[in-house]
Homo-oligomer: A and B are copies of this chain.
Amino acid sequence: MARRFRGESHHKVDSKGRVSIPASFRRVLEASDPNWKSGDTPELVIVYGDHRRNYLECYTMEAIEEVDEKIDALPRGSMERKMLQRLFHGQSFPTTVDETGRLVLPAKLRQKINLENEAFFIAAGDTFQIWKTETYEEEELAKTEEWLDELPDDFDPLAFLDKRPED
């Protein structure tokens, strides 16, 4: 069942690295964790990537399983496989949401994206991202706007919906 995350919101990060995740995101994580049963805490995998990435990407168990299967299908020993293993197996952190609906981000992950007091959560299909609020506002939003500016004034992004893959 490919449930989707929706929405965005800001949450406090405390001194221990604990941060509430949006309640609606929890529902999706639960529904997408094959082992989850009412009353316990859903699992997820946080992919943090290499030094170039400045946000955390959170995968539901279903989503990460799909990725893992694709990696397994690549030829053993190929560079592609090695790269993807490094990213998804090496540069990732498996965890669970706690009983009170929080994620605990280890110091290492917080430092990686420079997270201090406030985290910004934003949905992205079957994953969601965690940003340092300031980074998102200063870098990511700017980038998006810049990109939009290059398109014709009256361009409607909806046009992408029906674009054929080979374009």
- Which residues of chain A have a CB within 8 Å of any CB of chain B? 4-8, 24, 45, 67-68, 70-75, 79-80, 82-87, 89-94, 122-125, 144, 147, 157, 160-163, 165
Say whether, besides A73-B165, A122-B86, A161-B67, A93 and B144 are in contact (CB < 8 Å): no
B84 and A125 contact, CB distance less than 8 A: no
A90 and B160 contact, CB distance less than 8 A: no
A80 and B4 contact, CB distance less than 8 A: no
| Chain B residues within an 8 Å CB radius of A75 | 165
B90 and A8 contact, CB distance less than 8 A: yes
**How far, in angstroms, from A45 to B7 measured CA to CA in the complex?**
10
**How far, in angstroms, from A123 to B163 measured CA to CA in the complex?**
25
